[in-house]
Amino acid sequence: MVTHMILLHCLVFLWPTESCRTLSQVGDKSKEMSTRPHGVCDGACVDNSHCSQPCPPDTQGNMGFSCRQKKWHKLTETCQTLNAFNIFEPNLYSIQAAGERTKVNESTRKSETITDMLMQRCPEDLSCVIRNIRNSPRIPGNIAVIVQLLHNISTVLLTGVDKAKMQSYSIMANHILNSKSISNWTFIPDRNSSWVLLHSVNSFARKLFINKYPINISDVFIHTMGTAISPDNPGKNFTFSMKVNDTSSDITGQVLISRDELQKVPTLSQAISIAFPTLGAILEASLLENVTVNGLVLSVILPKELKRISLIFEKINKSEQKRTQCVGWHSLESRWDQQACQIIQENSQQAVCKCRPSKLFTSFSILMSPHILESPILTYITYIGLGISVCSLILCLSIEALVWSQVTKTEISYLRHICIANVAATLLMADVWFIVASFLSSPVTHHNGCVAATFFVHFFYLSVFFWMLAKALLILYGILIVFHTLPKSVLVAALFSISYGCPLVIAAITVAVTEPGKGYLRPEACWLNWDMTKALLAFVVPALAIVVVNLVTVTLVIVKTQRPAIGSSMFQEVRAIVRISKNIAILTPLLGLTWGFGIATVIEDSNLAFHIIFSMLNAFQGLFILVFGTILDPKIREALNGRVISVKWISRMSENLSTDFSFHPTKATS
């Protein structure tokens, strides 16, 4: 009988047949609707081609596919069974008299949205859509309809949200937050849907009024707690325990408000917290960033006077090989922001965060960093290698100073040793600032110090590469034989301008562009950010570009110096050019290889071996400069031998003079 009444009502309102069939069968659809498999498009699959197919029977919308590697892959889906009519309870239609249907029809034409109809039919508790929403399949189109409905409700209801409305709202949200629906979120064309849902729930909860009795509304995938607070309270603690999926054990989360913070609030205030066990994974599916939420998402609705809260997150993935980041959801930029929180304590089971709630940040969680935690072996390699590097560079500069007059007799030799001395000096300064940066515990507690240390490390490391570039340019000048047309002072000024000016400009632009948005530093270390702003590219790109230029230059030298006709007057300068080329041919691949492995370390799930190789190459760069730039240079060895012979000769002469001086007085006495 009910089915006949529904069909009659469909005819009266001229509903589409498919909608009526859906409505009459809605009570039987408690199971998830299966989606059509890949490869459903007709015709040949050509890479990067697209097609669209209608949804299965009893649903409205279409599915978009893209061809990749000769297979059709689903990109989007708008299939839905819910609409402005069948979302409401069936008995609301069946009990109306024929005369009243006309009024409903007129009302429907005026109120085109589900929200408007909802506010007319059950404004007291919003319950008239719950049954059909619960029974609807969690397919992408239905998820989008419910998200839009929740958003509209949070916008329309400005005040007067009580426990009954919050319960109905939570039931609707719980249906699409189900762990079984996570994969379907990826096919919703509007990529903003997940954070629209988060914002809508937070906005609706902000209007919730709490009397003297606490509120505790618990569903499987959303849990809301609220209570009145006052300056007299000893502190507040919201504790949640929820399942991430059907098979996992409970994951806990806590919101702690200290007594000191509560003393700042007005006499009549309230605190609300909402926990989401699956929303983190749903946000992951929508975000372009490669992040992994590793705990509950905890939202807090607090008085503006509360500036600090503590949050304790139990980890979903309890791996000790991953670094944890405390984050807040930036409501305007729709991304996780590491500047909203700082990590206070961490172990393999949980992380304790201190966060700053505000209008921009009301939701918080922990991320599992894609980078492997530093191994103790990396620390030992780094500091032992840096010690050796610093000593090697000091020795290198000392040798250069000792033999300077002997090895800089020709113009090109003078310029070459200017370059090698500055390579050593800039790398020494970079190592010193690297050590300073390592002693700063974190960018949060020593932010200004970290910015300064990172700037100078960036600047001096870039200078090392630009001095290597200067050596390559020196070779090009030598090949083109333009030394005789340019004064030495001009060449020296040009070398210093390129080697210090370019790094200064790059480093200054990097900090000026990224620091205002707090995207200059990594959250866990004083070095250029990668995850948010890719600021590290401001070092890697110039460095590797210089490596390519230098290798091309060395190849050019090899070709040029193979030509037999070389005048004897140019012999010394040609030999000097060849020595510089050998030096660059060895040092450039070493420096380039070092930062090639450096790029590998920022790739997600990169092997620990890459980190160890990078740490070794990076830490021992000073030793490379000493060995390949100084000790293996035959001119320097010759000058050092001369120095040693001179010292021995002076020592022997001193001994002879001392012997003569001691002999003559004895003879005079006798």
Tokens representing 355? 């966060």
Calpha distance 580→467 (Å, rounded)? 13
Spacing of C-alpha 546 from chain mean position: 27
Residue 146 has pLDDT above 60, yes or no: yes
Closest CA to 203 of 237, 229, 227, 169: 169
Question: How confident is the model at residue 16, as a pLDDT?
Answer: 35
Tokens representing 623? 């030793």
The larger pLDDT score, comparing residue 11 to residue 498, is at 498
Percentage of residues in the chain with pLDDT exceeding 70? 72
Calpha distance 628→125 (Å, rounded)? 79
Dihedral sign, Cα of residue 493, residue 496, residue 499, residue 502 = negative
CA dihedral 9, 12, 17, 22 (to 10 degrees): -20
Distances (CA, A) of 575 to 193, 280, 479, 572, 642: 68, 64, 11, 5, 21
Dihedral sign, Cα of residue 587, residue 591, residue 593, residue 594 = positive
What confidence category does residue 561 fall into, taking pLDDT thresholds of 50, 70 and 90?
Answer: low
Residue 133 has pLDDT above 80, yes or no: yes
| The one-letter amino acid at 242 | M
Give the lowest-confidence range in 151-165, 272-286, 310-324, 599-613: 599-613
Backbone dihedral angles phi then psi of residue 213, each to the nearest 5 degrees: -95, 135
Q: DSSP characters for 615-656?
A: HHHHHTHHHHIIIIIIIT-HHHHHHHHHHHHHHHHHHHHHHH
Question: How confident is the model at residue 13, as a pLDDT?
Answer: 32
pLDDT in tens, 221-261: 999 999 999 888 888 899 999 988 876 789 999 999 988 88
Calpha distance 605→345 (Å, rounded)? 24
pTM equals 0.56
Tokens representing 383? 């500091």
Question: How confident is the model at residue 113, as a pLDDT?
Answer: 77
Distances (CA, A) of 39 to 56, 61, 64, 234, 569: 15, 18, 11, 62, 75
pLDDT in tens, 28-80: 333 344 444 434 677 788 888 888 889 988 888 999 988 888 888 888 999 99
Calpha distance 458→527 (Å, rounded)? 8
Question: How confident is the model at residue 385, as a pLDDT?
Answer: 81
Calpha distance 229→236 (Å, rounded)? 8
pLDDT in tens, 326-371: 999 999 988 888 888 988 888 888 899 999 999 899 999 999 865 5
Question: How confident is the model at residue 343, as a pLDDT?
Answer: 86
Q: Which residues contact 205 (CB under 8 A, 6 or more apart)?
A: 161, 166, 224, 226, 272, 274, 299, 301
CB 504 within 8 A of CB 459: yes
Q: Which residues pair with 368 in a beta bridge?
A: 324
Residue 207 has pLDDT above 60, yes or no: yes
Distances (CA, A) of 248 to 173, 480, 597: 21, 71, 38
CB 413 within 8 A of CB 635: yes
CB atoms within 10 A of CB 591: 27
Residue 154 has pLDDT above 70, yes or no: yes
Question: How confident is the model at residue 523, as a pLDDT?
Answer: 64
Question: How confident is the model at residue 194, as a pLDDT?
Answer: 93
Give the lowest-confidence range in 36-40, 192-196, 313-317, 544-548: 36-40
Calpha distance 554→583 (Å, rounded)? 10
Q: DSSP characters for 417-476?
A: HHHHHHHHHHHHHHHHHHHHHHHS--TTTTHHHHHHHHHHHHHHHHHHHHHHHHHHHHHH
> Of 298-302, 378-382, 589-593, where does the model show the most confidence?
298-302
Hunting for tokens 């050998």 — which residue is that? 582
Q: DSSP characters for 102-171?
A: HHHHHHHHH--SHHHHHHHH-TTT-GGGHHHHHHS---HHHHHHHHHHHHHHHHH--S-B-HHHHHHHHH
Longest dimension (CA), the chain: 151
What confidence category does residue 9 fall into, taking pLDDT thresholds of 50, 70 and 90?
Answer: very low
Closest CA to 174 of 139, 210, 223: 223
Question: How confident is the model at residue 469, as a pLDDT?
Answer: 85
Residue 560 has pLDDT above 80, yes or no: no
What confidence category does residue 24 fall into, taking pLDDT thresholds of 50, 70 and 90?
Answer: very low
Hunting for tokens 């944890």 — which residue is that? 324
Calpha distance 21→164 (Å, rounded)? 32
What confidence category does residue 478 fall into, taking pLDDT thresholds of 50, 70 and 90?
Answer: low
